[in-house]
Amino acid sequence: MPKRKKSHAYTDWIKSRLDEMDATLFVLEDKAENLESDVSAKAGDALDSIRSWRDSFKARVNENIHDGEKAWADIKIHLDKDWKGFEDAVQARMDARKDSAG
């Protein structure tokens, strides 16, 4: 069996993260549509932040898509930061929702 190039592993990692980001946004946007107006505005702000992290991740990928394997190893540091920012924004949204519910 031939060895897979490392760049394939990066591609798989990136696709997995983008799929998770898009799925998370889909669920949160769906839930936000059913909120009352005052809560909906706060949810909209949180969703804007989450979308911003997702868009930053996508933009960084698109800027570097044709770079070699060494460049991907270097850029992964930045992608990890974007991923962490996305996760933190989602967690902040969930924490705020818990606080407002109880």
pLDDT in tens, 16-50: 999 999 999 988 888 877 766 666 677 778 888 88
pTM beyond 0.95, yes or no: no
d(CA 70, CA 28): 36
Residues making up the chain, counted from first to last: 102
Supply the pLDDT for residue 14. 86
- CA distance from start to end of the chain: 55
- Could you report the per-residue pLDDT of 51-65, keeping only the tens digit for each? 998 898 888 888 877
Rounded to 5°, the CA angle 48-21-17 comes to 140
d(CA 6, CA 16): 15
